[in-house]
Chains A and B, each alone.
Chain A
Amino acid sequence: MSVLAMQRNFRLWLDHGDTFAAARIGERAAPGLLVYQNNYRAQLIACLDEAFPHTRDWLGGEGFHEAMVAHIERVPPSSWTLDAYPRDFPATLAMLYPGDPEVAELAWIEQALAEAFVGPDAGVLTPARISAIDWDSAVLHFTPTLDHAPLTTNAPALWAAMDGGEAPPAAEILAEPGAMLVWRHGLVSRFRAVERAELDSLLRARTGTPFPDLCRALVESLGEEQGVARAGQLLGSWIAEGMIVSIEDAQS
């Protein structure tokens, strides 16, 4: 048997438990093949278990274990890094728990925080730089770790309670769907829930819309006074929370 054929048989054994493929590797290999299959599954289970502690606590050990087994059946690992394996787990949970959307949303928060933790480093916006900006031509640049996802439940409150060691509240569906933002400020991953309107402004800003145009859009929808105030409030919070890492203007 060629090395390629052996490796294909090995994959079938590990991924599908294919006993015919195992037999082709060799009859006397059976005890060793069991060791490798146990290692393979134990490693993926440990990876998911470590990546989603609050989702595990929310679902309970048995439910979470069943979800991990289902995920391993559905999604074979493909990346060179095991850190990539949890990425698709929220999608598996969404399929397994269609009537409980907080489960997948909670898992998304955990996964996104972990991704942000090792995401690209970014610069720091200094007070001196802010004071020198020509706001009539300002374009905001956001940290590359900034990510977002739809939010339909109180999953952020569930995460916060469990992370603080408190009993989580009951799951609730939001009156208005919003979004979750996750990013890293310095070395610390952060998240918060936002309304759809803030996400829209943020996405426009991130695609390069100049800040004055954002202001104009907010004035059109909210009126002069409230629109200008809202623009200033969004800008202030994005800077204070470390989402904006640089601002380009005509003088840059």
Chain B
Amino acid sequence: MSLPCFAGFGLGLRKPHYADFLDTRVEVDFVEVISENFMVDGGRPSQILRDVRERYPVALHGVSMSIGSADGLDGAYLKRLRALVDEIEPLFVSDHLSWSRIEGFNSHDLLPLPYTIEALDLVCANVARAQDAMGRAMLIENPSTYIDFVRADMSEWQFLDAMAQRTGCGLLLDVNNVFVSASNHGFDAIAYLDGVPHDRVRQIHLAGHSLGTELLIDTHDRPVPASVWDLYAHVMPKLGAVATMIERDDDIPPLGDLLDELAIARRISDIAMRVAA
């Protein structure tokens, strides 16, 4: 199963910016949409996505596949997602290294997995089933986590490496999530970025976070901080063609502010490419 490849800079498509993307030509190379928002029967959301797709390449980013569920994947969900994939013909189809659903209960949150051999086996089985259902390789994103399980057989980046090798999936590397989890669990973010399989990374997320009571929280409600830009600058020379995007889900600013952040990403990427050359 071949892994799609695309180089460019994009933004997440959010409701306050629908008119900007539909009425004007926004200077992005692609947009990313939350898959579940458009896995509907019809109506305005479907029309908006069709119109956006006519103007921009689209990446589908899911939050509900629950790739780490011990009781497997939801067949109805996969069927719905496949229908959307067939209609939109996205650049990428991605979801998270996490779980949300177990035995009929759905938390609607990206819950953590222990990085054990058992978890690796079940995640790989679920990724393989998802890729078969989609008819294409998927990208799996590293999550922000707030629990460090006592029992682990490997680090998160070793887990991602093994998963990618066994299933042929690609990686969506969320640099902010690396920073948040490194801070929460006390590991070295640079070691993480050096340890992920660079040849499997196809997309990058950049976002902001906030400080909770004891832990950093992946809130996506503020600009990308300097600490995350530094990690992005570190990892970019190691990667091949990737699609970079700013992910903002709360306190959404005017589109111009996000385009300014995207310009920073372009500049850092340009410098990184020159360094790599």
Contacts and interface: CB of A to CB of B under 8 A. Distances in A.
Interface of A: 1-4, 6-8, 10-11, 14-15, 25-26, 28-29, 31-36, 39-40, 43-44, 76-83, 85, 116-121, 184, 187
Q: Which 3 A-B pairs have the closest CB atoms?
A: A32-B146, A121-B42, A118-B40
The dominant DSSP class at the A interface is helix
B194 interface: no
Nearest to A25: B147
Contact of B113 (A3, A33, A78): A3
Contacts of A28: 148, 150
Interface residues of B, number: 50
Contacts of A81: 36, 39, 64
Interface stretch (B22-30, B65-73, B153-161): B65-73
B118 interface: yes
13 contacts: A3-B114, A7-B70, A8-B103, A11-B103, A25-B147, A31-B146, A80-B76, A80-B101, A82-B36, A85-B108, A116-B43, A118-B41, A119-B42
Given A25-B147, A32-B147, A2 B70 contact: yes
Nearest to A33: B147
Contacts of B64: 80-81
Contacts of B165: none
B109 A43 contact: yes
A164 to B, nearest CB: 21
Given A43-B109, A80-B77, A118-B46, 17 more contacts: A3-B118, A3-B119, A3-B122, A7-B102, A10-B107, A26-B147, A29-B149, A32-B184, A34-B213, A80-B66, A82-B36, A82-B108, A83-B40, A120-B41, A121-B42, A121-B43, A187-B47
Contacts of A40: 107-109
Contact of A77 (B39, B46, B107, B217): B107
Interface in B91-137: 99, 101-109, 111-114, 116, 118-119, 122
B116 A3 contact: yes
Contacts of B177: none
A78 B68 CA distance: 17
A25 B103 CA distance: 18
Contacts of B274: none
Interface string B43-75: 111110000000000000000101011110010
Nearest to A2: B118
B214 A184 contact: no
Contacts of A26: 147, 149-150
B147 A78 contact: no
B118 A187 contact: no
